[in-house]
Amino acid sequence: MLALLATVIVASLDWLWLVWNRSQLGGIVQHGAMTINAVLILVAATLVLRHPLTRRMQPHRRSALRLLMLASGAWFFRVGLMFWIAVNGGPVGFDPATLHGNKAGIGMATIAMRLPNL
């Protein structure tokens, strides 16, 4: 359990570093949505660790489920992007090499961040 939690924390920190230092894909809105998602993952991971220490298991379960959903945010984005491409018969409305000019991509990045918190 702790190894999985440590993996999620390291992956989120790595995600933040990659988005702001190395990424050439997407725009500022997509980077902002991914950053918020990574920060929410770190907050949920903190709560997943804190609640069992205070012997509060019901909030721990909720936090663990939220962490699972937040960590799946990149998967939600990819599924949405592939759905968009399948429905339109190809990459429509954006440059597939850079993902720029994609209003649907901005919407999908926002949904991938918000969907786990509904």
Angle, alpha carbons 17-20-26 (nearest 5°): 125
Helix axes 103-114, 73-88, angle to 10 degrees: 150
Mean pLDDT of 96-113: 69
Expressed as residue numbers, the domain containing 51 is 2-117
pLDDT digits (tens, 9 = 90+) for 39-71: 988 998 888 888 877 888 888 888 888 888 888
Number of domains in the chain: 1
Q: Which of 77, 73, 106, 104 is nearest to 91 (CA)?
A: 104
DSSP 93: S
pTM value is: 0.72
Phi-psi region of 33 (alpha: psi -120 to 50; beta: other; left: phi over 0): alpha
